[in-house]
Amino acid sequence: MIRRASLVIVGALLGATAMSVVYSAGVPAQAAGSSTYRELSIFGDVFERVRAQYVTPPDEDKLVENAINGMLTSLDPHSSYMNAKDAQDMRTQTKGEFGGLGIEVTMENELVKVITPIDDTPAARAGVLSGDFISEIDGTPVRGLKLQDAVEKMRGAVNTPIKLTILRQGADKPIELTVVRDVIAVRAVKSRVEGDVGYLRVISFTEKTYTDLEAAIKKIKAEVPADKLKGYVLDLRLNPGGLLDQAINVSDAFLQRGEVVSTRGRNPEETRRFNAGPGDLTDGKPVIVLVNGGSASASEIVAGALQDLKRATVVGTRSFGKGSVQTIIPMGDAGALRLTTALYYTPSGKSIQGTGIQPDIKVEQPLPPELQGKVRAEGESSLPGHIQGQSETEEGSGSTAYVPPEAKDDVQLNYALDLLRGNKTDPSFPPTPEKAEAAVKP
């Protein structure tokens, strides 16, 4: 993210790559040729030499793990080996529920600053306030730690205590609080009513995303009478992706029928198609999807499906351009292999790999003066070793990934609101559903 880091303790997508994930037991490949096994024998000889003769005793597990990752990263940026801890962190992220404190934090002046405590969580009940600075964690000074390291220290098993030393404006001395960790369910979808428009921000695609989206739409309907509701803004900006099935379910929430996405692997018989079923949760109300350079993978599946099927108008700037699917294959000792096994295609048969989703209406979000010249537009095609997309050009993909913290400064959001309210007009809004059949290949 370009704006200040916002992490939920034991729950932020720390260092996450944008990826769609499916789980698989794995399919064995055909036996390799004899020359391959000779090379592997050389690898074994090198390993033994390093283990026995390197100037200092090496960590053998790290040697093997790094060798495996060297092989995988030579394939593409999204294939990797996860040791037991990394695999567990990945499962925690996709589940969207974990043991923790329940605070959103950032790093400021070398201290952990509390952005906000989440309602009805251990931190809120213990008296942690927005604006507090955490100076010590269980007696260990925070200064000198990276934000991720501090977050790791605040992680822990449910029902275990942690002592926080807090600096608070107006307090004459540090405050010491003991917080007992509990299960924290982080919302995958945040929503609000913007007058006569329902605003839905999908933060990531976890196991809870569709359920949260369904509840958010129901809440908006309860707050705004159907005859007053102008439509919905579906905000996918800064969304790095997540579970493939949740991207399909979120797309289906706005559709009555049609192909949502197809995945195509190494062999033609591995092609899979996923279709929407009846039941538009928004009752056919107009929808505008917001994307930018931080919209990747699963969020691009949703934007591409709603765009191709003429269900929504996409506003913003070009998305990241990650069009590959990673399969998670369990390995020994609870580790896992994350392997790129397919590319996904929008209903019109387009791969967004390396190109991204082009908005129907391009609206740039200006950067504040303090970020001018410091924020670069990047995308999948800027990653070393990425899979070349079928329509990729030298221009690359992606655009600036920035969203202002205040809605009043959000040019893209306000443009969408003006379209829904009729204050602005554009030929792309509303899309014409009759044209969907012509846009989508059989």
- 230 plus 170 within the same structural domain: no
| 204 located within any domain | yes
Rounded distance between C-alpha atoms, residue 1 and residue 65, angstroms:
29
Summarize the confidence of residues 127-143 as an average pLDDT. Answer: 93
- 311 plus 422 within the same structural domain: yes
Rounded distance between C-alpha atoms, residue 308 and residue 351, angstroms:
12
Residue 186: exposed, middle, or buried by beta-carbon count in 10 A (0-12, 13-18, 19+)?
Answer: buried
Summarize the confidence of residues 386-394 as an average pLDDT. Answer: 75
- 198 plus 302 within the same structural domain: yes
**pLDDT tens for residues 279-297?**
999 999 999 999 999 999 9
| Maximum Cα interatomic distance, the chain, rounded to a whole number of Å | 78
Query: Which residue in this structure is represented by tokens 């499916």?
Result: 22
For 210, list phi and psi in degrees, rounded to 5: -65, -40
CB contact at 8 A, 276 and 252: yes
Chain CA centroid to CA 343, Å: 18
Q: Which sequence positions are flagged as catalytic?
A: 297, 308, 322
CB contact at 8 A, 253 and 210: yes
| 152 located within any domain | yes
**pLDDT tens for residues 69-101?**
999 989 999 999 999 888 888 887 787 777 789
Summarize the confidence of residues 95-123 as an average pLDDT. Answer: 83
Bridging pattern class, strands 133-137 and 161-167: antiparallel
Q: Identify any residues that bridge with 165 across adjacent strands, giving them in sequence order.
A: 136, 176
158 vs 175: which has the higher pLDDT: 175
Q: What is the pLDDT of residue 430?
A: 95
| CATH assignment at residue 221 | 3.90.226.10
CB contact at 8 A, 274 and 260: yes
| 79 located within any domain | no
**pLDDT tens for residues 306-318?**
999 999 999 999 9
Q: What is the pLDDT of residue 6?
A: 29
| 157 located within any domain | yes
Structural domain that includes position 273: 189-439
In which element (H, E) is residue 80 found? Answer: strand 80-82
CB contact at 8 A, 118 and 184: yes
Q: What is the pLDDT of residue 32?
A: 66
Confidence of residue 18 (pLDDT cuts 50, 70, 90): very low
Q: What is the pLDDT of residue 99?
A: 77
Output the DSSP codes for 153-193. HH---TT-EEEEEEE-TT-SS-EEEEEE-EEEE--SEEEEE
- 155 plus 200 within the same structural domain: no
* b/e 84-103 (16+ beta carbons within 10 angstroms → b): eebbebbbbbbebebbbbbb
| 313 located within any domain | yes
**pLDDT tens for residues 271-283?**
999 999 999 999 9
Collapsing DSSP to helix, strand or coil, 99 comes out as: strand
- 290 plus 405 within the same structural domain: yes
Show which of 158, 185, 212 is a domain's final residue.
185
Q: What is the pLDDT of residue 121?
A: 87
| 117 located within any domain | yes
Could you tell me what percent of the chain has a pLDDT over 90? 61
Cβ neighbours of residue 227 closer than 8 Å, sequence gap 6 or more: none
Q: What is the pLDDT of residue 194?
A: 96
Summarize the confidence of residues 146-160 as an average pLDDT. Answer: 85
- 289 plus 162 within the same structural domain: no
Instruction: Evaluate the CA torsion angle 379, 213, 233, 411 in order and state its sign.
Output: negative
